[in-house]
A and B are shown apart, each in its own frame.
Chain A
Amino acid sequence: MGLILPWLLAALLIIAALAVLAVVLTRRRRADVRTGTPLAHTDRLTTLPGYHRALLRYRALLAALVVAGLVLFSSAAVLAARPSATIATYPQTANRDIVLCLDVSGSMIDYDVAITRAFGALAEEFDGERVSLVVFNASAVTYFPLTSDYAYIRSQLERIATQFESPDGAYFDGTFFGEGSSLIGDGLAACTLRFDTPDQARSRSIILATDNLEVGRSIFTLPDAGALAADHDIRVYGINPGDTTSRDYLAQYAEEFRQVTTRTGGDYYALDDAGAIPAIVDRIGSQQATVMRGAPQLVAADTPVLPAVLALLSLASIIGIAGRLRR
């Protein structure tokens, strides 16, 4: 708590003190002037016990009036001096671009469904984030570009999830232009190029889901694509359903995948069960949020509530007391 105009408070208090002093002095000078209706022998009245009780009540009310007046004036003076509180804000939390980069080879479909569904649920909480979906097999296709239209994002994610599940899904259209399948290096490299605002200070990340069963020749190797992402300041979060003990022969690729993701500052999740995916997506979302918490900015905001309420209450009691005294 602080005051934006502390000198004003001091000035008002000094003025008030002078005013009170002036009133007291003039009253003292005026005390002897007899105006009004002259009465004699009022000691008959003033020595009555009832009068004494009334006098005590009168003095109590006067004291309350003075106190209420003091509270009113000081709270008004404090209000005039603008009480403020310094609030730390953390900007940029919702300043993210996320590209979902899904391997749509046959072995990945179950996981892709889980990821899109989980991401659709996560999109409910987004505010300011932009999301894009890229699917790849031999070649990469932008299913929808970076957008913050969450209704659209949800509908598109739902649509592709339905396509994944239907036998004649069109999700793989355009993903076979290339030699082989699951060309993960090319897929990642394509995804790094989907960020349309390289000049803006936004956090960029790619959620790359692949079993890393690369068949054929890709233009970019996975480490090359990882280096490209790192150059563009993009974090890569890897989800690898193929990295399990049942597929030990892939351990070398899995290790490579892990190293690529960690090198970009991202994370790597190996799993066997599609049911774990929503938890992982959640974790990536929140991890991103903490990572992106920028330096706190201090903002001084007016906090007039307490003095304003005090002023109102004291004003109300002044009116009440004055009414009783006038009775």
Chain B
Amino acid sequence: MPSLLRKVKSKLSIHAHRRVSALLEGEYSSLLHGRSVEFDDLRHYVPGDELTDIDWKATARMGTPMTRRYVATRKHTIMFVADTGRDMAAISAAGETKADIAVLAAGVLGYLATRHGDLVGLIAGDSGHTGFRRAASTDGHLEGVLQFIHAATTLDSRPSDLTTQLSYLARRFRRRMIVVVVSDDRRLGDTETALLQRLAVQHEILWITICDADPTSGELASATVFEVADGARLPAFLRSSHGLAHEYAERVAADARAIGDLFDRLGITTTRIEREADVVPAVLRLLVEHRRARR
């Protein structure tokens, strides 16, 4: 089985020369570790570091911006909540399998976490079964987490039902965690909204949305397309019907607005990912937004 973590690392190294990697480091650090008061050491400033953390005296001394680092008070727990139902085995807007993008996104965040010594756990499943990986902080454990998501998501999986995983989370955990939900463009029902409302109080929630493919797009015009939920065919004649693309786009935009409003209300930071190439910038965006939102 090819290592999923290696893929994540190679993805990050692609972005290294653009300093996105370093930005990610900074964002992640300030997200979780910027709040400690016990001074640890100084290091060179990297973009994304809190401006208030810059040690101006040291900067003047060294002639280059220096940032204070603080000792983390404790290890954080990143708990991934991943949908591995058959919805995630469908394709994304760019034609890649949504589960692959989900693995990559979880991998990037999980890799940052293990590098900082934080713990990474997983709650994943579909409507029938919820799997749990305890929180741990090794590369091998992270690989196991990613492999679980990867292997569990197939077209033969049971239908997606995030409610099961969210209520599992609500039932089983008393301590505060960073919860990262990896899901798709699903609409949230009343049950899920209520659960999230309750969970948002206890945890910090980040929501990664993997965008669904647009069935009216020209790239799918000549393809045989079916709905994963019931296997129903969607004839090209219907998808390419005049004016339907516009109507669909409006519907998707309306849904996105609605869920955006909900997330804003609940204080959940969210990002949307369309393709594998967008994963690293999207995760960065997520961290930046989360930092800003907390303030």
Contact = CB atoms under 8 A, between A and B. Distances in A.
Given A36-B226, A39-B226, A40-B229, A45 B244 contact: yes
B231 A32 contact: yes
Contacts of A34: 155, 226, 228, 231
B238 A42 contact: no
B82 to A, nearest CB: 15
A327 B218 CA distance: 12
Interface string A55-82: 1011001000000000000000000000
Decide if the interface of chain A is mainly helix, strand, loop or mixed.
Answer: helix
B262 interface: no
A245 interface: no
Contact of A48 (B89, B237, B247): B247
Interface stretch (B38-46, B197-205, B208-216): B208-216
B90 A40 contact: yes
Contacts of A61: 237
A37 B227 contact: no
Contact of B225 (A36, A53, A55, A58): A36
Given A36-B223, A36-B226, A327-B237, A44 B244 contact: no
Contacts of B25: none
Contacts of B160: 40
B252 interface: yes
Interface in B113-140: none
B235 interface: yes
B215 to A, nearest CB: 5
Interface string B68-88: 000000000000000000111
Interface string B248-284: 1001100100000000000000000000000000000
Contacts of A325: 235, 237
B244 A38 contact: no
Across chains A and B, which 7 residue pairs bring their CB atoms closest together, nearest first? A36-B224, A54-B241, A40-B90, A40-B87, A38-B90, A42-B227, A50-B247
Interface of A: 31-32, 34-46, 48-51, 53-55, 57-58, 61, 324-327
11 contacts: A35-B224, A38-B228, A40-B160, A40-B227, A42-B215, A42-B225, A42-B234, A45-B244, A50-B243, A51-B238, A327-B237
Given A39-B226, A48-B244, A54-B241, 16 more contacts: A32-B231, A36-B233, A38-B89, A38-B90, A40-B87, A40-B90, A40-B227, A41-B185, A41-B186, A42-B225, A44-B251, A45-B251, A51-B238, A51-B244, A51-B247, A327-B237
